[in-house]
Every structure is written in structure tokens, then in C-alpha cells.
């Protein structure tokens, strides 16, 4: 059993807020991270989503700041996505419910006017995405000299999303004397480098072996030849799975997400399904998450943009319609289910060109994903010619990645523009523009 929150040095206001939120005992990351954070140490936490890491740093921050003071923020929490930023803000509000601490959440995708007004009224804790923070800071709306604590949450995702330049800028504008907290699901070389620049003699806390899926998730893998068969299999699973209470279906692209969404609407109607991806407006995305949280909607179709920062406690199933290309995202996707000691099912559909990523995922999670046969009554479609070509091209690319000397089935098909570039480069090298091609493709000769 975990440790009770009563065993930590929290004041009565915070303990009451924890109790009101329905929490009784600390999760492993909270148990290990809260004491050093409360002692003012720099901490690096390696923990996947769903382990309770947000509360592990929010509770000590609320305890440290105690009450509203001055006009400018004393804690800054940086997160990769607006969904996660909103999640963290919700956590802060929950645990600071019995205090007068002021929290403002900043993110892009909508005009900054309201956010600027909120900062102007005085703030203790800012939760933000990197880009919007720098915009408002450079426009003179944020004062950083009062900051005492800086948190980088899901730092690995921030790196994947290319936020490193903004993170470095933020580190340049915050006070040198401060407490730093860094959280990441994986411990990559990049994260190691960042922690060296950012943390001073940190306490390193790793709660699960690196990038291990939650023990409470049952994983299944289906090898499926093409997209149409994936749809047939999805239909079958939705027909037979009575225990699907709440389902998130992850797709690699917005296009795939829209196609799956359209299929599900035909099957279940608009009331049961919502879709979440970067092309949807900010309000639509917030409404989709809220409807899913409130059990108004049973199925959420999403791209990886949404896979982090959706903290919904009772997701029973996750289906990976596509295998994620950023392999760490697999852990995050399946981490949506089996949260906080509940069990869940994670099902993955894998086409031939996705096997490469499955092998990499299995290496990362240090386990083989159990393979399940496609049920006999699922119709297996013939792969259309174009899809077959795309798959072969993708497999070629993967082989090239592993072996740069590999010459794939597609390497001979140079386009006209490639030939022209080649000629121009050769001409430059020889100082002559009248290069004669000894052997050129028909199409090339025709056009000349």
C-alpha cells in the first residue's frame, strides 16, 4: 500500500483539498519526489504519464507559495501542449482550492488578450506552453525576476516537438537562483544533456524502469495487411467488446483520424464519437475532451498531439489504428488506459510497413507485444496497388535508415528535376555548361 498524504508536511488547507479531490495515498513518484522537492532540491523525475507526476510537483509548489503575494509569478510550469497545460492548471486549482493562490494558463491557438488581462490582475503560478510564454515575455507582459521554481514537464515531448530553442530562451530570462524540476517519460541522451545544463546536483527519481508500459495494461498486436482491413477489424472489435466503457483510437495523421471518425459516425452516430487533432479549432478540442471526460461520449479519435495531457481516469481501451512513428509515443498512448491502479486493454493494428516500428517499440519497452490472430470472420481485403507501392517505398526507406548503402526498389526512378540538378552540379564542377548525357531516360530525352 502507498503512503498516506498525512505523512507529508502539508498544511491542513492542502490536506483538505487532497481529501476533497478523493485521493488517499501517494503514488510511487509522489512518495519519492515530494520530500526532496519540499526541501528545495533540484529534481529530475523519470515517470510516464498516469503515474501522478503532476501532483508530485504541484503539491510542494502550493505548499511553498502558501498564499497570494505581489503581482508577479513565483512559479513557472512549462508543458509541451495546450492540453497538458490545461490539465496542470486544473491540478493546481484542485490542490490550491483552500488558498488564495492565483494561477494563469497561457497557450497559443487563441488571441492573447484575455491571457494578458489575467496576468495584469496579479499571478502566483504560470502554466504555459513554450512559444506563448516567450511571445508574452518579449512583449513585456511577464516579469520573471520573482520566479523561485521552474518546472519543465514532459521534456522529451518538448524536444520531439522542436521546442529546444524556446526552452533555452526561457532558461536565459529566468533568475539564476531558483529551484528546477524536470520531468520526462524517457531518459534519452538529449534529456541528459538538458538536465546537465539545467539542474544543479539533482536528485534523480525513476519510478518505473525506463519507458515501461504500466503493468496494468494488457497489450495485443494484430498484423493487418492494409487500411481497409484495419477498418473491418475495428468494426469487429467494437461489435464483440462489451466491456468497452471508454475508448481512445489513435491515428498517425489527421487524414486517417478523419476517415476513422467518419466510419464511426456512420456506425454509432455523432453523439457517441468525437475527433481530436491539430486542425480542429481550440474550442472544439476543449469541448471534445470535456465531453469525453464527462462520459457524454464513449469514443475519442485522436492524433498524437492529443495523446499526452488527456488525463481521463477510466479509459478501458486504447486502439492504435496506426503504429506511432515516434516510438516513445506508444508508451504515452497506451498509458491513457490502466491509469492509477486500474487495468486496461491496449490493441495495436500493424501493417507490413509498420513492423519496423513495432520491433523498435518492443526494444524500448523490453518486452514482446503478444500477437493475436485476426478473427476468422473479419474480411481481409486485397491491398490496392497504390497502397502496396506506398508500403514498399516506406520499407525501402526503413532499410536505408538501417543500411545507408541499401539500394531499394525505387532508387532508379529519378525525376527530371533530379537529372537537371545532377547536370548542373556536374557542369559547375567541370566549368562547362554543355554537358552531354551519355545515357538518359526516355522521358528526359523527349523533354530536351
pLDDT digits (tens, 9 = 90+) for 82-108: 888 998 999 999 999 999 999 999 998
pLDDT of residue 441: 44
Q: Which helix (H) or strand (E) holds 395?
A: helix 385-402
Domain residue spans of the chain: 5-206, 217-383, 416-447
pTM of the entire predicted model: 0.56
217-383 has the same fold as 5-206: yes
Q: How much is the pLDDT for 330? A: 84
Dist CA 362 CA 369 (whole Å): 7
CATH number of the domain located at residue range(s) 5-206 in this protein: 3.40.50.300
321-346: b (≥16 Cβ within 10 Å) or e: bbbbeebbbbbbbbbbbbbeeeebbb
Q: Which parts of the chain have pLDDT scores under 50?
A: 1, 209-211, 411-414, 432-448
Query: pLDDT at position 63, please?
Result: 95
**E strand map for 326-400:** 344-350
Q: Which of 156, 158, 157 is nearest to 133 (CA)?
A: 158
What whole-number distance in Å separates Cα of residue 209 and Cα of residue 366?
Answer: 10
Q: How far apart are CA 319 and CA 239, in angstroms?
A: 14
Nearest Cα neighbor of 16 from 59, 48, 73 is 59
CATH number of the 217-383 domain: 3.40.50.300
**Angle separating helix axes 28-38 and 53-65, nearest 10 degrees:** 30
Residue-level length of the chain: 448
pLDDT at 117: 95
Assess contact for 161 and 84: CB atoms under 8 A: no
Amino acid at each position: 500500500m502507498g503512503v498516506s498524504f498525512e505523512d507529508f508536511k502539508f498544511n491542513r488547507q492542502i490536506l483538505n483539498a487532497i481529501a476533497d479531490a478523493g485521493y488517499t495515498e501517494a503514488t510511487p513518484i509522489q512518495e519519492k519526489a515530494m520530500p526532496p522537492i519540499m526541501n528545495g532540491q533540484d529534481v529530475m523525475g523519470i515517470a510516464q504519464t498516469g503515474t501522478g507526476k503532476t501532483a508530485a510537483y504541484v503539491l510542494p509548489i502550493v505548499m511553498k507559495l502558501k498564499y497570494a503575494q505581489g503581482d508577479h509569478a513565483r512559479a513557472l510550469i512549462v508543458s509541451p501542449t495546450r492540453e497538458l497545460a490545461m490539465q496542470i492548471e486544473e491540478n493546481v486549482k484542485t490542490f490550491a482550492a483552500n488558498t488564495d493562490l492565483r494561477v494563469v494558463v497561457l497557450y497559443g491557438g487563441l488571441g492573447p488578450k484575455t491571457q494578458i488581462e489575467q496576468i495584469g490582475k496579479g499571478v502566483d503560478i504560470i502554466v504555459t506552453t513554450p512559444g506563448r510564454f516567450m511571445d508574452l515575455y518579449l512583449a513585456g507582459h511577464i516579469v520573471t525576476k520573482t520566479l523561485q521554481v521552474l518546472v519543465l514537464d514532459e521534456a522529451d515531448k518538448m524536444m520531439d516537438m522542436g521546442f529546444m530553442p524556446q526552452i533555452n530562451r526561457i532558461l536565459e530570462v529566468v533568475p539564476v537562483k531558483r529551484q528546477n524540476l524536470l520531468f520526462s517519460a524517457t531518459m534519452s541522451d538529449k534529456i541528459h544533456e538538458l538536465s546537465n545544463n539545467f539542474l544543479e546536483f539533482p536528485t534523480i527519481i525513476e519510478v518505473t524502469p525506463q519507458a515501461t508500459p504500466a503493468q496494468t495494461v494488457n497489450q495485443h498486436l494484430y498484423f493487418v495487411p492494409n487500411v481497409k482491413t484495419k477498418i473491418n477489424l475495428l468494426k469487429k472489435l467494437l461489435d464483440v467488446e462489451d466491456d468497452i466503457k471508454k475508448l481512445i483510437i489513435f491515428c498517425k495523421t489527421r487524414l486517417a483520424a478523419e476517415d476513422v471518425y467518419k466510419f464511426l459516425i456512420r456506425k454509432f452516430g455523432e453523439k457517441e464519437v468525437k475527433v481530436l487533432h491539430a486542425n480542429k479549432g481550440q474550442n472544439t478540442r476543449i469541448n471534445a475532451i470535456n465531453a469525453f471526460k464527462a462520459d457524454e461520449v464513449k469514443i475519442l479519435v485522436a492524433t498524437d498531439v492529443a495523446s499526452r495531457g488527456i488525463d481521463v481516469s477510466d479509459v478501458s481501451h486504447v486502439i492504435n489504428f496506426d503504429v506511432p512513428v515516434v516510438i516513445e509515443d506508444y508508451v504515452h498512448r497506451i498509458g491513457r488506459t490502466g491509469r492509477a491502479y486500474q487495468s486496461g486493454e491496449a490493441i495495436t493494428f500493424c501493417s507490413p510497413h509498420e513492423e519496423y516500428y513495432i520491433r523498435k517499440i518492443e526494444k524500448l519497452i523490453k518486452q514482446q507485444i503478444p500477437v493475436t490472430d485476426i478473427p476468422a470472420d473479419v474480411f481481409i481485403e486485397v491491398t490496392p496497388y497504390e497502397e502496396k507501392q506506398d508500403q514498399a517505398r516506406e520499407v525501402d526507406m526503413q532499410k536505408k535508415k538501417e543500411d545507408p548503402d541499401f539500394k531499394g526498389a525505387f532508387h532508379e526512378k529519378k525525376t527530371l528535376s533530379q537529372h537537371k540538378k545532377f547536370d548542373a552540379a556536374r557542369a559547375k564542377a567541370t566549368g562547362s555548361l554543355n554537358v552531354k548525357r551519355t545515357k538518359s531516360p526516355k522521358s528526359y530525352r523527349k523533354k530536351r
